[in-house]
Each structure stands twice: as structure tokens, then as C-alpha cells.
Structure 1
Amino acid sequence: MIFKETSLTGVFILEPSLFGDHRGWFMETFSDSEFKQMGIHLNFVQDNHSFSAERGTLRGMHYQLDFKAQTKLVRCTRGAIYDVAVDIRIGSPNYGKWVGVELTSENKKQLLVPKGFAHGFITLVENVEVQYKVDEFYAPECDRGIIWDDPEINIEWPIDVVPILSEKDKKAPLLKDAENNFSFTV
């Protein structure tokens, strides 16, 4: 597995090694020992799987407050998404900055989104499935978000349609107004 750190420290794009022959292919999507070799110690507790029927479905930008924060390892197992992480750690030199990567069932890339980052994605095609591991259980009382089109963050979503949003995501606040208890530590 190849770990490529992005411009946001702690956010990695992972490229799994693919082994194939006449029968098909095999890959490891997570290896605790490889993560530990990179200095990343995680204890995943839950796997999640979402389906989006329509192109332009936007899910995000989500996070859970610090004492129930989640690290996510995200991959697209059917179709294609543009996956985004935003640094929301107060005091971070990258506060409000974002990175995005196209994850597809073909390229098999994954995005590691650590605690202290908001996360979201938009579907680039119809009938998309996304799977992700988390290291903390869902806690509805800690569930928070920021609006997908916050002008201060200025995410460049690579799609030419009005996104399809949940009611919750339509009402999400700007980052400057969002409840946020993350702080940057060196």
C-alpha cells in the first residue's frame, strides 16, 4: 500500500497494491501493520456503506465533536466520487483549507480523514456506493457539519449540476459559525 500525504498534514491518499491474474484481482484495503509503520495507530470500530442513486448527490461536510470525533478511511466501491477533507482545527496553519481527490471503483484509491477535519463527497456518476471505516461510533448528539459551499473555504466541486442535499446539509452553518471544539496541537 502506498501512502501519499496531502498538503494537509495527517490526510493521506492511499493506493492499495493490486494483485491480479486470469481470475480477477485481490487487494488489501486496510493493514494495521502498514498503518503502524507509517506512525498511524487506529482502532476501527465500525464499517459504513452508503448508496447514492443520482449524480450530484452531495453528502457533507460532516464531523463529530472532539470527544466523539472519527477518523475515516473512505473508498468508493461502485462508481466515482470527489472526496473532500477540510481542516477545522482551530489554530492550525491550514485552518479552513481543503484537499480533494477522485475516488473510483477503478482507481481503488482511498482517503484517510483524521479527527479534526470535516468530510464530504459528491457523486460524479449515478449509482454510487461508498464504504468507510471509522474509529468511533456514530454519536447523534455530537454530529455537526458545515455548509458545502462556504465561500471562505471555497471548495472547487468538479460538477456542473446543483447538488442534491439532505435537509440537514442544506441548513449547515458556515465554518465561522459552526460548533467546533477541535484545536491544533503539534
Structure 2
Amino acid sequence: MDDRARAIFDEARETLARVADVTVEHRDHDDDGYLTSWSRNMPKKPAPPTVAEVEAMIASRIAEHTEIRNDVHGRVIAAERKRWRVEVEQLRNELGELRADLSIHRAHAGQRNKDAAHTEWMNTCVPQLMANGKDQTVAVAACLNMWRDAWEETHPDGAVDPGPPIPEESDAEKSAGRVVELPQFLERRRA
């Protein structure tokens, strides 16, 4: 041990020798009346919660959370329904306009060829529905249904709609048909 460490130990021994006859009195501050008097009117520490109380608090928090979640979901659903109602109303208006256009086409159909009216209607209706985001197949089916509904409205007597025009055969198709029929004609002639 070096001199410095020895000096520290010697000083500590001298201090212990000096205070060896000093006695320390233990004081309980709960009984002294001076230092703890301020705490008499203070509320007591609450007892720790029981397991049942903790479970009840958890259940109430879960119920609050569920109520808030249901409220938020309800508001979102209401907003979506409102948006959908607006969209459905717009589509109904567009459908009404298309039906009105169809009625006009039907009215003019008496003045010109029905086939031309049907073709003109399909050429107008299908692009409008496709511009509104409908698939081509869906647009064609919807336009044909509107045509049929308008036919039934304007013909309450139950007359059947002859449908869209049937394309006429070209000269090549007609002559091809005759070529097919020629061998049959010759066989009949021989017999």
C-alpha cells in the first residue's frame, strides 16, 4: 500500500475514534407531531385495484372502443351510401335521357326504315354507355334491352319486335350459294 492510501485509512480511523462515544437517537416522524401534521387532512393512498375491478375497467374500455368503432363505421357506411345514391341517381337520369332519345328514334322510325333507326340507336347508345365506364358487352346488352323496353311501351298490343336488321348477303355470298346448289340441280336433272 502506498503512502497516500495509508494516509486516507489513518484519517478514517481517527474520525471513528473521535465519534465512538456519540449516540444517535432514533426518531419516528409519524409520532413527532411537527413534521407530519400537514399530512393528516390529506387523502389516503387508494388501495390497489382488485382483479375484478381491473376486469371491469378493461370491459368498459372495450365497450367504449366498440362504440367509437361502430360510430365511425356507421358514418363511413352512411357517406358511401350517400355517394352511391348520388351515382345511382345520375345513372337513372342518363338512362332516362337515353330512353327519351330512344322514344324519339322510335317516333321517327315510322318516317324512315326501322332498321336504320335501330342501327342509329345502337350507334348512339353504345358509345355513350362506354364513355360512362361500361364494358362494350354490357353496353350493347343494355342498349338492346332499352330498345326492347321502348318497343313494348310503344306497342302495347303485344307485337313482336323484329329485332336488329339482318345483313343482306353480298353478291359473292349469293353466287357461292348457287355454286353449292349447282351439283344438286344437276343430280335432279339427271334423274
TM range (shorter): under 0.3
| Structure 1 or 2: more strand by fraction | 1
TM-score with structure 1 setting the length: 0.23
TM-score with structure 2 setting the length: 0.22
| Structure 1 or 2: more helix by fraction | 2
Larger RCO (alpha carbons 8 Å, 6+ apart): 1
